[in-house]
A and B are shown apart, each in its own frame.
Chain A
Amino acid sequence: MEKFTTLTGIAAPMPLINIDTDMIIPKLFLKTIKRSGLGANLFDEMRFNQDGTEKPDFILNKEPYRKAQIIIAGDNFGCGSSREHAPWAIADFGIRCIISTSFADIFHNNCFKNGILPIRLPKEDVDKLMDDASRGANATITIDLENQEIKGPDGGCIKFDVDPFRKHCLLEGLDDVGLTLQKEDKIQSFEDQYAQSMPWMARS
């Protein structure tokens, strides 16, 4: 997993509440054999017409938000089906951080597994950032995970909370697999002991 330390980028304002995983990635795209490539269909129905042309009003179709790396969203982001395709699509598009007043549980967990930082903030902070974000390219936002700070374009600073263990994983770029691999010694000594006690379980 890619490390998350400091991120400076354009933030797209999406003041909608209850953005669900069906909106994020419609079920049509679940038959894929990949977790990459889904960014092309992120927010597919909101972003494109039936004939595949862009809907000019959608935020990610406008400059400079085509290159957004952060989303500022309304309440309850990521509700609906548990599909891991939703964070896959978001990350593939290039978005690494989502800021909202609240997130659906499973989606929130799935974000951390895929190198995305979801930040919960009080409503007035989200409103402020939403406002900043709507100022476009003049309004890049910096997320400093180590110090748990968000720096706005006018120098303002907002503190945020994050679970220490999750923070550690993002800073180090550790997914569950990476974490388990850190226990290599324990796994290896288990395997050595096991090869002695249950030799028939091995296969050559």
Chain B
Amino acid sequence: MGNPRTLFDKIWDNHLIETQDDGTSLIFIDRHMVHEVTSPQAFEGLRMSGRKVRHPELTLAVADHNVPTSDRSNGIVITNEESRIQVEALEKNVAEFGVPYFAMDDLRQGVVHIVGPEQGFTLPGATIVCGDSHTATHGAFGSLAFGIGTSEVEHVLATQTLLQKKSKNMEVRVEGALPDGVTAKDLVLAIIGKIGTAGGTGSVIEFTGQAIMDLSMEGRMTVCNMAIEGGARAGLIAVDDKTIDYVRGRPMAPKGAAFEAAEKYWRTLTSDEGAVYDTTIIIKADELVPFVTWGTSPEDALPITAKVPSPSDARDAGKAGAIERALAYMGLEAGTPLNEIEVTRVFIGSCTNGRIEDLRAAAAVAKGRKVAEGMNAMVVPGSGLVKEIAEEEGLDKIFTEAGFDWREAGCSMCLAMNDDRLAPGERCASTSNRNFEGRQGRDSRTHLVSPAMAAAAAITGKLTDVRELLKEGN
């Protein structure tokens, strides 16, 4: 059966329609997700050239970036005109082209990367694209998932294919087991801290090793979601029982005999013994502690037990300059212990950490406690269904009793395109994925953390090693 292949090789080969002499390949796309920000010009392009969507049924649209997360019981009103027009354009486009769509008032609405897996739209072994870089999330299912540009969105809508050059194979092997209180988010921050934001450039990263396979599907999605922050085209994790169990019974997943046939194939979706990666990085899980970012790049990640770095710690002049700029932007002084940095805002949500397990982890810390004086802490479920489950479990009560603001589903303060944003200079512990300058509002200051760490920061009013609160008990 030829050479041993990686998981990425297998999925690639299985979708290859043709390869030109210069290596440009035409690949088939199984699933295409669409949101309101990056799709309008793509639909307009179809309209202008009189083309149709080739496979509307393989496409799924949802509005998430611009939707308000305030109470929806009296209807949904988008006050910003440009935001409203983008959502209305999506609604018009999906109607005209016959694309399945979850409207804003549909219980299934939510962040596109939460909705896909939840509905079983995301399947193992599939090629999945969306005009959004965090499409990498779906790689947790052993699928090849990556973000594309607007011209490519149009290309996929019209042809159900994409022109691509094959990426390299990179392995990030996480050996050993994660200690208590250390989560998937801490792990992925540690990985990005180690490889840097360009560490995965030109590659698809397969995450392997015991600590990865020990993660739940939610945790695996958190890790793959941030593969893009490590510069990779996509993140990928092999299929196992957890993958299959997660997919089984989802509304859009195959049923009955079809599922059984699929399962047989899905179980082959692992890298072969002896498959060769272009690069391999090894991380020891046992040594990890909770991680936070201090600066304005996801690679500015450090253990919560560390101190804010100084430009003199930098490996080169370029990085020293970046540290200096980040310190000034973040309003921090070198040498400050990370667990002394005070925050007044907390955001729990996003496609990185807006799933039910994330809310459970945050609620476990919040339970029976109260948020710090002057704290504004938001919890934004990743989808209407996540919100519903959380409410069935009483998590909303735990949060509201502790003084958190319990909100409706959407991207929210992950990128502050709706009304949820930080004021200039405000400092936030956030479970999202990007701490860039201005990401959560003009001059906003973001510290990336896990959901449990975010809840801990809400309680104490500063970045806190959640293991201390867990030790105390509730």
What is the interface of chain A, defined by CB distance below 8 A to chain B? Answer: 1, 31-36, 84, 88, 113, 175-178, 180-181, 183, 186-187, 190-191, 194, 198-204
Q: Given A190-B28, A198-B265, A200-B261, is A31 in contact with B126 using a C-beta cutoff of 8 Å?
A: no
- B258: chain A residues at CB < 8 Å are 199-200
Closest to A178 in B: B49
Main secondary structure, interface of A, reads helix
Closest B residue, CB atoms, query A110: B151
Q: Does the CB pair B261–A186 fall under 8 Å?
A: no
Docked complex Cα distance between A199 and B51 (Å): 26
CA distance A35 to B14 in the complex (A): 35
Whole-angstrom distance between the Cβ of B123 and the nearest chain A Cβ: 7
The reply to whether B57 and A186 contact each other, CB–CB distance below 8 Å, is no
User: Smallest distance from the beta carbon of A204 to chain B beta carbons, Å?
Assistant: 6
Chain A residue numbers with a CB within 8 Å of B254 are 200
Asked whether A177 and B49 contact (CB < 8 A) given A34-B41, A194-B28, A201-B123, the answer is: yes
Q: Is the CB of B28 within 8 A of A180?
A: no
Partner-binding segment picked from B157-165, B192-200, B372-380: B157-165
Within 8 Å CB of B14, what residues of A? 198
* CB <8 Å contact, B30 and A201: yes
Please tell me if the beta carbons of B57 and A181 are within 8 angstroms of each other in the complex.
no
Which residues on the B side are within 8 Å of A199 (C-beta)? Answer: 258, 261
User: Number of contact residues on B: which range applies?
Assistant: 35 or more
Evaluate contact between B86 and A33: CB separation under 8 angstroms.
yes
* Contact pattern, B 51-80, Cβ under 8 Å of A = 1, otherwise 0: 100000110000000000000000000000
A residues within 8 A CB of B151? Answer: 84, 113, 176
Judge whether B259 is part of the interface by a CB distance below 8 angstroms: yes
- What is the bound-complex CA distance between A201 and B163, given in angstroms? 21
- B 36-59 to A, binary, CB cutoff 8 A, 1 in contact else 0: 000011001100110100000110
- Against A, the Cβ 8 Å flags (1 = close, 0 = not) of B105-140 are 000000000000000000101100000000000000
Q: List 17 A-B contacts (CB under 8 A).
A: A32-B40, A33-B44, A35-B44, A88-B41, A113-B151, A178-B49, A180-B158, A181-B158, A181-B159, A183-B17, A187-B28, A187-B160, A191-B160, A200-B258, A200-B259, A201-B123, A203-B252
- Asked if B276 is an interface residue, CB under 8 A from chain A, the answer is no
Using a CB–CB distance below 8 Å, which chain B residues touch chain A? 14, 17-18, 26, 28, 30, 40-41, 44-45, 48-49, 51, 57-58, 82, 85-86, 89, 123, 125-126, 150-151, 154-155, 158-161, 163, 252, 254, 258-259, 261-262, 265
Whether B44 contacts A177 by the Cβ 8 Å rule is: no
Given A35-B44, A191-B28, also A177-B159 (CB < 8 A):
yes
A186–B89 touching, CB < 8 Å? no
Contact count A vs B, C-beta below 8 Å: 79
Q: How far is the CA of A187 from the CA of B49 in the complex (A)?
A: 20
**Do A186 and B18 have beta carbons less than 8 Å apart?**
yes
CB distance from B129 to the nearest CB of A (A): 14
Is there contact, CB below 8 Å, between A36 and B57? no
A12 to B57, CA, bound (A): 48
In the complex, residue of chain A having the shortest beta-carbon distance to the beta carbon of B152:
A176
Interface pair A36/B44, CB less than 8 Å apart: yes
Contacts of A36 in B (CB 8 A): 44, 48
| Nearest CB of B to A148, in Å | 23
Which B residues lie within 8 Å of A180 (CB)? Answer: 26, 155, 158-159, 161, 163
Closest chain B residue to A88, Cβ basis: B41
Question: Cβ of A34: which chain B residues have Cβ within 8 Å of it?
Answer: 40-41, 44
Using A200-B259, A202-B57 as known contacts, list a sample of 16 further A-B pairs with CB atoms less than 8 Å apart, ordered by residue number in A: A33-B89, A35-B45, A84-B151, A176-B151, A177-B155, A180-B26, A183-B17, A183-B18, A183-B26, A187-B26, A187-B159, A191-B160, A198-B125, A198-B265, A200-B261, A203-B57
Chain A residues positioned under 8 Å from B48 (CB to CB): 36
B126 CB to closest chain A CB, in angstroms?
Answer: 7
Query: In the bound complex, do residue B259 and residue A177 qualify as a contact, i.e. CB atoms below 8 Å apart?
Result: no
| B51 CB contacts on chain A under 8 angstroms | 177, 181
Nearest A residue to B121, CB-CB:
A203
> Given the complex, which residues of B lie within 8 Å of A191, measured CB to CB?
28, 160
CA distance A200 to B250 in the complex (A): 14
Report how far A15 CA is from B162 CA in the complex, Å.
39
Residues A201 and B82 in contact, CB atoms below 8 Å apart: no
A84 CB contacts on chain B under 8 angstroms: 150-151
* B41: chain A residues within 8 A (beta carbon): 33-35, 88
Determine how close the nearest CB of chain A comes to the CB of B18; give it in whole angstroms. 6
Complex Cα distance, B85 from A187, in Å, reads: 35
B contact residues around A198 at 8 Å (CB): 14, 125, 262, 265
In the bound complex, residues from chain A placing their C-beta under 8 Å from that of B44 are 33-36
Q: Which residue of A lies closest to B56 (CB)?
A: A203
A204 and B57 CA atoms in complex are apart in Å by: 6
Shortest A3–chain B CB gap in Å is: 12
Nearest CB in chain B: distance from A193 CB, A: 10
Contact residues in B for A177 (Cβ distance below 8 Å): 45, 49, 51, 154-155, 158-159
* Closest Cβ–Cβ distance, residue B161 to chain A (whole Å): 6
Structural contact, A203 and B261, CB atoms closer than 8 A: no
**Among candidates A176, A178, A194, residue contacting B163 with C-beta atoms closer than 8 Å:** A176
Instruction: Verify B17–A187 contact, CB threshold 8 A.
Output: yes
In angstroms, Cα B158 to Cα A191, docked, is 15
Residues of A within 8 A of B28 (CB): 187, 190-191, 194
Contact B155 A176 (CB under 8 A): yes
Closest CB of chain B to A129's CB: distance in Å?
Answer: 31
Give complex CA distance A177, B150 in Å: 12
Residue picked from A176, A183, A199, A201, most chain B C-beta under 10 Å? A201
In whole angstroms, how far apart are the Cα atoms of A84 and B85 in the complex?
20
CB distance from B249 to the nearest CB of A (A): 14
Task: Name the one of A33, A175, A181 contacting B40, with C-beta atoms under 8 angstroms.
Answer: A33
CA distance A202 to B262 in the complex (A): 12
Which residues on A sit within 8 Å (CB–CB) of B49?
1, 175, 177-178
* Residue of A34, A187, A194, A203 with most partner-chain B CB within 10 A: A203
